[in-house]
Amino acid sequence: MKTSIDEIPFVVLDVETTGFFPHIGDRMTEIAVMKIKGGKEKERFHTLINPLREIPANITEITGISSSMVSDAPEFTEIAGRLCNIFKDSVIVCHNAAFDLRFIVPPMSNICGRLDNPVVDTLLLARKQFEFPNNSLSNISRYLGFSTENAHRAMGDVEMTSSVLNYFLDSLKKNKNVCSVEDLLELQGGSIQVPYAEEGSISPVLKKAIKNSRNIKIKYISKYGFESVREVEPIEITSYKKLNYLVSFCFKASSIRVFRIDRIKDIREI
């Protein structure tokens, strides 16, 4: 936290997704990261991701990413290890960080453990420390004279966010005497809270099944009170409004399904 902002790496992150809510089964379709230090790019990584579900037509219209484009792409678990290495000892940066974090944190924590990186949000900095006509990433970039040609694709948004971040850092060093990561986080109102599930309500059997990639059989009570038994491949646990959800591949439905964990009445490893 006391490290100079010129000496610590910042990892700029952006994801594209099938929708807006992982707790109802939306998944990542693309991810891009860029590591910068002292205002200079040190590393970048980008890939499409197979979300294991169809991409809605309205999302394809926005991002240009179709189901056929991701059919042979790696699943997130196949690239998570590389991301863990890139994130190590870095400050994570996003524009509207809450959105990206709620998609990437649950599946990464299954593989890499808890992320304890400080998180900088250029959207919060824009709102609190600058006066732009509009605080969307594309509008800030246009206002500052940066290219927006590849907006709504992960690497295009990462490149814009990196340019905006470097502009913000230079300005805040000059005008606000910002020297350290701690100073920077104070100006945005503190680090962003990383969205972790409430551990106490999660069965040890479920945690073990996710960690070991084992299928399970669950007894589930729907919101209408109907009971069903499902064989599922658990993928990750996510949370929304203080409730935990199991994202899994349901063999009965032959697709991704999400189950509210407090409605799962029995879990057995197969």
pLDDT (tens, 9 = 90+) of the chain, 270 residues, equals 788 999 999 999 999 999 998 888 899 999 999 999 999 999 999 999 999 999 999 999 999 999 999 999 999 999 999 999 999 999 999 999 999 998 998 888 878 888 889 999 999 999 999 999 999 999 999 999 999 999 999 999 999 999 999 999 999 999 999 999 999 999 999 888 776 666 666 888 998 888 888 999 999 999 899 999 999 999 888 888 878 899 999 999 888 899 999 999 999 988
Residues 6+ positions from 122 with CB-CB distance below 8 Å:
93, 94, 95, 137, 140, 161, 164, 165, 168
List Cβ neighbours of 191 (8 Å cut-off, separation of 6 or more).
118, 119, 120, 185
> What is the Cα–Cα distance from 100 to 205, expressed in whole angstroms?
28
- The residue type of 84 is C
Report pLDDT for 124. Answer: 95
> Which of 176, 123, 173, 166 has its CA nearest to residue 144?
166
* Bridging pattern class, strands 255-260 and 243-250: antiparallel
DSSP element (H, E) containing 10: strand 10-17
What was the pLDDT predicted at 193? Answer: 74
Between strands 243-250 and 119-121, the pairing is: unpaired
Question: Can you list the domains of the chain with their CATH numbers?
Answer: 10-188 (3.30.420.10), 199-269 (2.30.30)
Name the residue with tokens 């109907």. 226
Q: Is 66 exposed, middle or buried (0-12, 13-18, 19+ CB in 10 A)?
A: middle
Q: How far apart are the first and last CA of the chain?
A: 45
What is the pLDDT at residue 188? Answer: 93
**pLDDT score of 200:** 62
